[in-house]
Amino acid sequence: MKYTKTKAVLNQLVADLSQMSMIIHQTHWYMRGPNFLKLHPLMDEFMEEIDSQLDVISERLIALDGSPYSTLKEMAENTKIQDWPGEWDKTTPERLAHLVDGYRYLEDLYQHGIEVSDVEKDFSTQDIFIR
C-alpha cells in the first residue's frame, strides 16, 4: 500500500486536531478572569485555524485513498491529547497551559509527518505538513 506511514500520520492528525478543537472550545466556554476580553476572541481564531487544518488534512488523506476517522468514538479512541471534564475547577491559566501542551504535541506530530512523508517521497503531503 502506498504512503502507508504518511496516511497513518494524517489520520492521527484527524483525531488529534478534532480533540484539539474541542479543547479550544472548552477553554473558550469556561474562560473567565481579567484577560477575558482579550483571550476569548483569540480562542475563535485558534478554532478557525485548527478546523482549517483538519479540513486540509482530511481531504489529503482521502486523496491518498485513506479513510479519515469520522465519528466521535474514533476520535476519542485514537487521540493522544488528554481531555478534561467541562468543570469550573480549572483556572484560565491552567486551561491555557493545557492548550500549549496540545500545540506542542501537534508540533511534534507535524514534524514526524514531515519526516515520514520524506521517506515515502510524498512531497505533496510534506508541503501540507510544512505549512
pLDDT single digits (tens) 5-35? 999 999 999 999 999 999 999 999 999 888 8
Provide the residue ranges of all domains of the chain, joining segments of one domain with +. Answer: 4-130
Asked whether the beta carbons of 6 and 64 are under 8 A apart, the reply is yes
Q: Homologous superfamily of 4-130 in CATH?
A: Ferritin, core subunit, four-helix bundle (1.20.1260.10)
What pLDDT is recorded for position 131?
A: 85
Q: Is 63 left (phi over 0), alpha (psi -120 to 50) or beta?
A: alpha
User: What percentage of the chain reaches a pLDDT higher than 70?
Assistant: 99
How far, in Å, CA of 13 to CA of 57, rounded? 7
What pLDDT is recorded for position 1?
A: 61
What pLDDT is recorded for position 21?
A: 97
- Tell me the pTM: 0.94
Cell of 5: 506511514
What pLDDT is recorded for position 34?
A: 86
Residues of the chain with pLDDT under 50: none
What pLDDT is recorded for position 87?
A: 87
